[in-house]
Amino acid sequence: MGIVSELLLLPLAPVRGTVWVADRLLEEAERQMRDPRAVQARLAALNRALDDGAIDEETFEKEEERLLGLLGSPARPLGAPPAGHVPVAAGRARRAAGRAPGRHG
């Protein structure tokens, strides 16, 4: 990137920093959510709630299926974007592609 573009993008630095921090927080939350020990603890709590009558069988089955899905889903590598995540540069490229040759306006 040239110095001119860096200077033009300088006012966006706080936003880029905030997005970076938000991405790191999301990664950590997902890592903790998929931690097998945490999922097993939530499954145990779910079983206790069913035994105590705090939830019904249908709610139990839905939540159990969701939690078991977390155990079965592969963890994404550290630093890999979450599923469906579109990096800022890719978003710009997609918008630029919308202005392909032949399209005027």
What is the reported pLDDT for 33?
83
- Report pLDDT digits (tens) over 48-76: 999 999 999 999 999 999 988 888 755 55
Q: Running DSSP on this structure, what letter comes out for residue 11?
A: G
Give 33-43 pLDDT, tens digit per residue.
888 898 999 99
- Joined tokens for residue 51: 């035994």
Q: How confident is the model at residue 1 (pLDDT cuts 50, 70, 90)?
A: low
pLDDT: which is higher, 76 or 10: 10
Give CA–CA dist 32/38, Å, rounded.
Answer: 7
Here the tokens at position 25 are 């927080």
